[in-house]
Amino acid sequence: MEKVIYTAMSGAQHALMAQQIHANNLANVDTTGFRADFERVSSTALQGDGFDSRVLASELTPGTDFSAAALVSTGRTLDVGIRGNGWLAVQTAEGEEAYTRAGNINLESDGRLTVNGRAVLGEGGELVLPDYRDLDIGSDGTITVTPPGGGALIEAGRIKLVNPETSQLVKGTDGLFRLDSGETAESDENVILASGHLEDSNVNAVDEMIQSLQMTRNFELQVKLMQSSDEQAKLGNEMISA
């Protein structure tokens, strides 16, 4: 039997999977703090007897594009964008610490700060704010509030900001980042916050579009190969039966 059809199949399968990654990136082109995924593929030579032209395409974990995106001004004090490198620490539903670039912080009625429903972590655990009249977030994450009756400013806590090596970070199934060692990252003094700003998604829309088009054509090529392999096998069968 002709084996080339399986080789072509692995290529077509990769094209389908890559298409999903590009579709996911484009769907998140407007998601605050989203980091784009790369598709990655490697060649795997099949071991065993036979002519060694059988090299299949096999997918690897999509890598993550860690480049920073543009900050957009929103004018809302509780929106924070990170200038350059760094991450906000949040607590997942399981109580673990995870990292995100999304800075659209919400104030809950009990004074807790959350991002998309997950508690924002401060230096000593969850951040809880007292009643206040005005609030400021400094560039190092320090939150100061004016008490309801006015008067001296009170320091209400400090957002935990971390900056581990990007090579140690992995994207979880919930879209948050964690250290691959499972440990928690040390806070970093050099991360700079911009209050009143949010970070865009770092998806490059044009890039994704072109790659998606390329995958469509790539897919067609693989299907063409399957066709010609089918053709060959058919011709062989005809010769034998003749």
Partner 1 sequence: MQTALWVSKTGLAAMDAKLTTISNNLANVDTTGFKKDRIAFQDLFYQVQVQPGAQLDQQNESPSGIQLGNGVRVVGTQKVFTTGDYETTSNQLDLAINGQGFFQVELPNGETAYTRDGQFQVNSDSVVVNASGLPLLPQITVPENTTAISIGTDGTVSATISGQAEAQELGQVTLVNFVNPAGLAATGGNLYQATEASGDAVEGVPGEDSFGALKQYALENSNVSVVEEMVDMIATQRAYEMNAKVVAASDEMLQYVSQNM
Count interface residues toward partner 1 (CB under 8 A): 61
Q: How many other β-carbons are positioned within 10 Å of the β-carbon of residue 186?
A: 9
Q: How many other β-carbons are positioned within 10 Å of the β-carbon of residue 5?
A: 16
Residues 88-117: x/- map of binding to partner 1 (CB under 8 A)?
--------------x-x-xxxx-x----xx
How many residues are there in the chain?
Answer: 242
* Identified binder of partner 1 from the candidate list 10, 57, 62, 122, rule CB under 8 A: 62
The answer to whether 24 contacts partner 1 (rule: CB under 8 A) is yes
Segment near partner 1 (CB under 8 A); pick from 45-53, 85-93, 206-214, 232-240: 206-214
Q: Considering only residues 152 through 171, tell me which ones interact with partner 1, judged by CB under 8 A.
A: 170-171
Residue 48 burial class via C-beta count within 10 angstroms: exposed 0-12, middle 13-18, buried 19 and up: exposed
Residue 41 burial class via C-beta count within 10 angstroms: exposed 0-12, middle 13-18, buried 19 and up: middle
Nearest to 200 by CA among 33, 65, 76, 74: 33
Closer to partner 1 by Cβ: residue 45 or 205:
205
* Identified binder of partner 1 from the candidate list 3, 27, 45, 228, rule CB under 8 A: 27
The answer to whether 50 contacts partner 1 (rule: CB under 8 A) is no
Measured from the CB of residue 60, what is the shortest distance to partner 1 in angstroms? Answer: 5
Residue with tokens 């400021």: 136
Beta bridge partners of 100: 88
* Identified binder of partner 1 from the candidate list 17, 135, 194, 233, rule CB under 8 A: 17
Closer to partner 1 by Cβ: residue 36 or 187:
36
* Identified binder of partner 1 from the candidate list 7, 10, 11, 34, rule CB under 8 A: 34
Residue with tokens 């109580």: 95
Instruction: Provide the token pair at 195.
Output: 């209050």
